[in-house]
Structure 1
Amino acid sequence: MRRPTLLAATVIAAALAATAGVALSQDKTMSFFVTSVGSGKGADLGGLKGADAHCASLAEAAGVTGKTWHAYLSSSTEDVRDRIGKGPWFNAKGEKIADDVASLHSDANGISKKTALTEKGETINGRGDTPNRHDMLTGSKPDGTRIADQTCGDWTMSGAEGVAMMGHHDRTGLDDSAAAKSWNSSHASRGGCSQEALKGTGGDGLFYCFAAE
């Protein structure tokens, strides 16, 4: 009577192991990327909803479905650290970016020019490249909390007015200061929120996207 029981237990264990293996491989599907293109209207992204929709559209075009995407953008009333899920997050090549919100906002995160890939798995030009596109819109402090007056009108402005805080995806700036190396809070835009203003400091209206679920 024991043999069938042992056989059943073995089959169940094997099935569980297989399921765990699949789950682990699925967990490494892309859950973080830099937008390959922006809105084309500077920091006017259609608000947070428009930015989130842009993330989802790019991810789906790249073949990644079934995830809820949120742009890494704070607003005047919302901290981005509270809207991107719990992690972990992986880039298009399955490389881990961070385990959780705390590690993402610490020196332990894996964001660099080599890992901050687009949804297509491509690198983005950084400092020293032509054109430089390393400025990422965030509206955030290093800890992922909001800078209420540096969100280009909650991501609805594209003219000479307004300011947006940005980070450097390549962790490189004019010097070796913490701000210059910050991926999410390096410096504010200059000359407004237009596409031209963002390009003027080394940007292109790009931003980070995270799978919240």
Structure 2
Amino acid sequence: MRVRCIELVAAAGLLALTANAGRAQTAEMTFFVTSAGSGKGADLGGLAGADAICQRLAQAAGAGARTWRAYLSTQAADGAAAVNARDRIGAGPWRNAKGTVIASSVADLHGAAASLTKQTALTEKGEVVNGRGDTPNQHDILTGSQADGTAFGPGEDRTCGNYTRSGSEGAVMLGHHDRSGLDDTPPSKSWNMSHLSRGGCSQDALRSTGGAGLLYCFAAN
């Protein structure tokens, strides 16, 4: 009986050490794909609302001490200047919930050195996000950005009204977190500029092309 008790205590200690190690690793996380969106399609409540989603999910995962920013660009409108996604996410490096480095710098993130794939673009919980071939496919991630992380010019909507629309009007640029699409062209393999949403900005419109209104979140500090 005494030996059994010692074994149980040792097992409990090992589990505690493993849990503590997991929490420590999550605290070092500086990048994730959201496990959920706003539930209102591309209406995120603007940039502030999108950042709040990132911050809330990071907080729940134990990484709330950092300042989190959604990887989103906005278009110039109503006298407000455009915002580039690449300018609001800090300098890097960025690590996922498992400690894997996604990119060491803004330049690397937007170049061939980026290590952003289905296996590394994990949620704040360290989980893999469904991609092409999975049911449901959720590889379309909202970015509203060009391939270099800059904003689109004013005019045709590429951001669902700067993330305030959830109806049949407008469109938003999407990226494929799994770097996989209908063919082998660069857009199909782009993590931040694959194609526009079709049929508007609603949750159903995003779902129809393989999305769920998810975001990329980066720690800016």
Question: TM-score, normalised to structure 1's length?
Answer: 0.87
Instruction: Tell me the distance in 1 between the aligned counterparts of 2:89 and 2:74.
Output: 13
> How many angstroms does 1:66 deviate by?
1.4
> How many angstroms does 1:85 deviate by?
0.4
Instruction: Tell me the distance in 1 between the aligned counterparts of 2:216 and 2:107.
Output: 17
Give CA-to-partner distance per residue, 1:105-150, whole Å, 9 cap, x none: 0011010000000000000000000000000000001100012430
Instruction: Tell me the distance in 2 between the aligned counterparts of 1:28 and 1:58.
Output: 13
Letter in 1 for 2:40: K
Q: Do structure 1's residue 108 and structure 2's residue 113 form an aligned pair?
A: yes
Q: Do structure 1's residue 118 and structure 2's residue 120 form an aligned pair?
A: no
| Structure 2 match to 1:135 | 140
Q: Is the 8 A contact 1:52 1:71 kept in 2?
A: yes
Q: Is the 8 A contact 1:83 1:212 kept in 2?
A: yes
Q: Is the 8 A contact 2:26 2:98 kept in 1?
A: no
| Structure 2 match to 1:211 | 219
The number of aligned residues is 189
Larger radius of gyration between Structure 1 and Structure 2: 1
In the alignment, structure 2 segments of 5+ residues that lack a partner are: 1-23, 76-81
Secondary structure at the counterpart of residue 213 of structure 2: strand
Counting aligned pairs with the same residue, the percent is: 65
| Structure 2 match to 1:193 | 201
CA RMSD of aligned residues (A): 1.4
Q: Is the 8 A contact 2:27 2:62 kept in 1?
A: no
| Structure 1 match to 2:79 | none
Instruction: Tell me the distance in 1 between the aligned counterparts of 2:26 and 2:183.
Output: 37
| Structure 2 match to 1:182 | 190
Q: Is the 8 A contact 2:26 2:61 kept in 1?
A: no
Q: 1:105 to 1:171 in 2, by over 3 A?
A: same
Give CA-to-partner distance per residue, 1:74-120, whole Å, 9 cap, x none: 01110101000000000000000000000000011010000000000
In the alignment, structure 1 segments of 5+ residues that lack a partner are: 1-24
Q: 1:189 to 1:53 in 2, by over 3 A?
A: same
> How many angstroms does 1:65 deviate by?
2.4
Q: 1:177 to 1:28 in 2, by over 3 A?
A: farther
Secondary structure at the counterpart of residue 180 of structure 1: helix
Secondary structure at the counterpart of residue 69 of structure 2: strand
Letter in 2 for 1:115: T
Q: Is the 8 A contact 1:111 1:183 kept in 2?
A: yes
Instruction: Tell me the distance in 2 between the aligned counterparts of 1:167 and 1:68.
Output: 23
Where do residues 23-172 of structure 1 align in structure 2 (5 Å cutoff)?
29-76=28-75, 77-148=82-153, 149-172=157-180
Q: Is the 8 A contact 1:28 1:90 kept in 2?
A: no
Point out 4+ residue stretches in structure 1 off by more than 2 angstroms: 25-28
Q: Is the 8 A contact 1:89 1:98 kept in 2?
A: yes
